[in-house]
């Protein structure tokens, strides 16, 4: 990645539309479409850093230059150059504010503007030398233009911009500006420093963005691992435990028990098919329909569930929140089927203002909440709800049953 950032700084983080092959090679270190997208995001963030840095620098140096002009320049010079300086200052302030409000910037779209800006910077220096030959008002301003050119065109663009300052200095000397070796070296020092600082800034900004992306990728992988564990717990493990449970029907009605197990397998196969369809881009099942299918799965397992869904409740619920809600209800009903000792439960869904409220209630044996909650309650119910910004409460009374109440934005 450091090599990628360095190559980006050398070649310019704004790819030329005439060089698509070079751009593809620059991002070839990234793996797959996601890596290419991350590479493009890194380029845009680095471009924004360069753009904001150059504009902020010029907003700072222009008032200093104009103050120097007012102190050392004559009345004629002040009258002719002050409007130019104020116009440049206003333009840079507007550009800085506009760039600050945008999350990213693309110097590929600003390449032409960077060249115009560089030409303006050359021009105002020649004009200023004619009006005030003893005061170099806008040379520091030119350094900001060189920064933008380097960011847009890379190291080669920055070097060319510095070399083009030679005829500009010749023109300035023709109007009476100083042209001795020390002054010329100082001017080149300004522009050379601008190129070097831009190169360093590009690499540093790119590294910062890269580290942030690595953190995001790591956090995403951990979240995906947690979701995978919960999914296995709520589907595969729950189904296997239900199949493994011993009952009197195993000896008295083996055919009926076999039919029940086949029904459970069919229901789980149907759920798995729906999950695969959703990954393939198929439209989500509405909340009421998904809950009805879930209730049907538990009916096959012998748990009668009374489902009551208020009209329109959860109809606008995003897919991620809907999946979390279904996972919580599934886990709560699985706990009823395994631990409550009763054959019925109630699921109610309603909206209270901007909040969707889901209650899963049974009147079974209950349990003591003082102990450490198991994986199902801790991960499949509580953690899953918190991930989507919801809240959940689990209440249980020994001998009187359990109630799980889920609340999330509607």
pLDDT band at 5 (very low <50, low <70, confident <90, very high): very low
Instruction: Give the containing element (helix H, strand E) for 158.
Output: helix 139-163
- Has residue 272 got a pLDDT over 90? no
Determine the pLDDT at residue 9. 47
Determine the pLDDT at residue 13. 44
Higher pLDDT, 107 or 89: 89
310-319, 325-334, 392-401, range with the lowest pLDDT: 310-319
98-107, 280-289, 342-351, 384-393, range with the lowest pLDDT: 280-289
- Has residue 34 got a pLDDT over 60? no
- Has residue 205 got a pLDDT over 50? yes
Determine the pLDDT at residue 16. 42
Distance CA 104, CA 13 (A): 13
Determine the pLDDT at residue 103. 77
The β-bridge relationship of strands 304-309 and 355-362 is: unpaired
134-141 average pLDDT score = 81
231-256 average pLDDT score = 66
Determine the pLDDT at residue 395. 92
pLDDT band at 362 (very low <50, low <70, confident <90, very high): very high
Determine the pLDDT at residue 213. 65
**Contact criterion met (CB below 8 Å) for 77 and 69:** yes
> Over pLDDT 70: what percentage of the chain?
72
Determine the pLDDT at residue 198. 81
Which DSSP category does 109 fall into?
G
Determine the pLDDT at residue 1. 42
pLDDT band at 27 (very low <50, low <70, confident <90, very high): very low
Q: Give the three-state DSSP class for 99.
A: helix
Read off the pLDDT of residues 161-196 as tens digits, 9 standing for 90 and up.
Answer: 999 888 988 888 888 787 788 888 888 888 888 888
What is the number of other CB atoms lying within 10 angstroms of the CB of residue 269? 10
Length of the chain: 410
Distance CA 148, CA 151 (A): 5
Determine the pLDDT at residue 17. 42
Is-above-0.75 flag for pTM? no
> Whole-number mean pLDDT of the chain?
77
Higher pLDDT, 228 or 58: 58
Determine the pLDDT at residue 204. 76
Domains of the chain: 2-216 (no CATH), 228-409 (3.30.565.10)
C-alpha separations of 231 from 272, 360, 387, 390, 404 in Å: 11, 19, 14, 19, 19
* Sheet containing strand 304-309, strands side by side: 304-309, 344-352, 355-362, 401-409, 391-397
């Amino acid at each position: 990645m450091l090599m990628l950032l360095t190559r980006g700084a050398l070649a310019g983080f704004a790819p030329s539309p005439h060089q698509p092959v070079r751009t593809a090679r620059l991002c070839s270190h990234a793996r797959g479409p996601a890596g290419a997208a991350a590479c493009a995001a890194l380029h845009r963030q680095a471009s924004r850093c360069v753009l904001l840095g150059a504009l902020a620098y010029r907003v700072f140096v222009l008032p200093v230059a104009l103050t120097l002009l007012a102190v050392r320049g004559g009345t004629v010079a002040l009258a002719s150059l002050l409007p130019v300086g104020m116009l440049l200052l206003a333009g840079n302030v507007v550009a800085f504010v506009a760039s600050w409000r945008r999350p990213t910037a693309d110097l590929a779209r600003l390449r032409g503007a960077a060249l115009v800006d560089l030409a303006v910077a050359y021009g105002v220096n020649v004009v200023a030398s004619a009006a005030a030959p003893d005061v170099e008002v806008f040379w520091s301003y030119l350094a900001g233009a060189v920064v933008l050119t380097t960011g847009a065109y890379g190291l080669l663009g920055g070097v060319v911009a510095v070399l083009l300052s030679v005829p500009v200095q010749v023109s300035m000397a023709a109007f009476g500006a100083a042209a001795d070796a020390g002054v010329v070296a100082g001017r080149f020092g300004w522009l050379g420093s601008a190129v070097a600082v831009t190169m360093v800034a590009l690499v540093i900004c790119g590294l910062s963005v890269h580290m942030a992306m690595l953190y995001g990728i790591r956090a995403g992988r951990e979240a995906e691992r947690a979701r995978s564990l919960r999914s296995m717990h709520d589907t595969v493990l729950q189904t296997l435990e239900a199949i493994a449970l011993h009952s009197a029907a195993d000896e008295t009605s083996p055919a009926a028990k076999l039919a029940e197990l086949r029904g459970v397998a069919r229901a789980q196969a149907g759920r798995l098919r729906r999950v695969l369809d959703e990954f393939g881009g198929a439209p989500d099942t509405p909340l009421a329909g998904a809950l009805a299918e879930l209730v049907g799965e538990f009916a096959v397992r012998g748990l009668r569930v009374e489902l009551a869904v208020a009209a329109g409740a959860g109809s606008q619920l995003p897919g991620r929140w809907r999946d979390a809600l279904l996972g919580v209800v599934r886990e709560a009903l699985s706990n009823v089927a395994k631990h409550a000792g009763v054959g019925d439960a109630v699921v109610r869904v309603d909206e209270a203002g901007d909040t969707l409220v889901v209650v899963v209630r049974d009147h079974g044996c209950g349990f003591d909440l003082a102990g450490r909650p198991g994986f199902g309650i801790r991960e499949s119910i509580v953690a899953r709800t918190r991930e989507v910004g919801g809240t959940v409460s689990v209440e249980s009374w020994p001998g009187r049953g359990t109630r799980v109440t889920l609340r999330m934005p509607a």
